[in-house]
Amino acid sequence: MAHFGEPLFEGKNMETTCRHVAIIMDGNGRWAKKQDKQRTFGHLSGSENVRNIALAANKLNIKVLTLYAFSTENWKRPMEEVDYLMKLPEVFFNRFMDELMREGIKIMAIGDLSKFPPNTQRVLLNAIDRTKNNSGLILNFAMNYGGRDEIIRAVNAIANEVRLGTLDIIDETVFESFLMTSGLPPVDLMIRTSGEQRISNFLLWQLAYSELVFTDVSWPDFKEDDLVQALKVFENRSRRFGGL
């Protein structure tokens, strides 16, 4: 029996001070190749796992789950693979939309969606619209997202307002309001699966004070228990850091 006020993850009695988790879902292609399957099989398994981890995060009362689904670098992959990835949002919502609605999950996206095929954009905007009044987990997909790209866009938008005379003083709060994550709680925890220990142009500004957890587990094998383990690392580190 754990003490009251302590974060607890056993049974239904779960509690975390972690509001925003971001994940680089790495290792899908390698996971598939290890079992002599196509990389696309890994991507499909990875998208099923998005559903599993989103439901787990919702149950754990996490407010926001930001997932790196497609980076600005991913366009350099073979055309067949890119084409397959473009179909995943539709496959995902066809399979899981009813369940996401039942669970009160709200879909969001960051990144430049304008480069995606019209149908992919439509499917995504439709999901965002259908779930806009849900009050559970915000499932935020980073799509054609790059951290430097986001910062440059913010700088240009700010420059524009300064030129127009509608903006004068630029501090951290003002700058943040021009980022795509504006309005969301700060990223408490960033997890990268599958062994690499890099940020790879994910949320550059937002990760300034985040706890970073790297695991060798590949994304299709990353289960609720692995999320809970990462949350425990977060709780222990932030308690030590904040408890002075």
Among 23, 25, 60, 191, binds ligand V0D (CB under 6 A): 25
Beta bridge mates, 140: 66, 108
Contact call for residues 64 and 185 (beta carbons, < 8 A): yes
Q: Is 107 in the site for ligand V0D (CB under 6 A)?
A: yes
Q: What are phi and psi of 84, to 5 degrees?
A: -65, -45
Identify which range of 87-95, 173-181, 206-214, 231-239 contacts ligand V0D by CB under 6 A. 87-95
CA dihedral 226, 228, 230, 233 (to 10 degrees): -140
Q: Is 46 in the site for ligand V0D (CB under 6 A)?
A: yes
Minimal distance in Å, beta carbon 197 to ligand V0D?
A: 18
Contacts of 141 (CB under 8 A, 6+ apart): 66, 67, 69, 89, 107, 108, 109, 110, 111, 124
Identify which range of 46-54, 163-171, 208-216, 231-239 contacts ligand V0D by CB under 6 A. 46-54
CA dist., res. 221 & res. 193, Å (int) = 9
Q: Name the residue number minimizing CB distance to ligand V0D.
A: 46
Q: Is 219 in the site for ligand V0D (CB under 6 A)?
A: yes
To the query of whether residue 236 is one of the catalytic residues in this protein, the response is no
To the query of whether residue 144 is one of the catalytic residues in this protein, the response is no
Q: Pick the catalytic residue: 52, 74, 126, 134?
A: 74
Q: Is 52 exposed, middle or buried (0-12, 13-18, 19+ CB in 10 A)?
A: middle
Q: Is 202 in the site for ligand V0D (CB under 6 A)?
A: no
Smaller CB separation from ligand V0D, 73 or 162: 73
Q: In terms of Cα–Cα distance, which of 105, 153, 161 is closest to 130? A: 105
Site for ligand V0D in 125-144 (CB under 6 A): 127, 141, 143
Smaller CB separation from ligand V0D, 88 or 230: 88
CA dist., res. 35 & res. 88, Å (int) = 21
Smaller CB separation from ligand V0D, 33 or 239: 33
Residues binding ligand V0D: number (CB under 6 A): 19
Site for ligand V0D in 140-169 (CB under 6 A): 141, 143
Smaller CB separation from ligand V0D, 59 or 130: 130
Among 47, 140, 206, 215, binds ligand V0D (CB under 6 A): 47
List interacting residues with ligand V0D (CB under 6 A): 25, 28, 43, 46-47, 50, 69-70, 85-86, 88-89, 92, 107, 124, 127, 141, 143, 219
Q: Give me the active site residues, please.
A: 26, 74
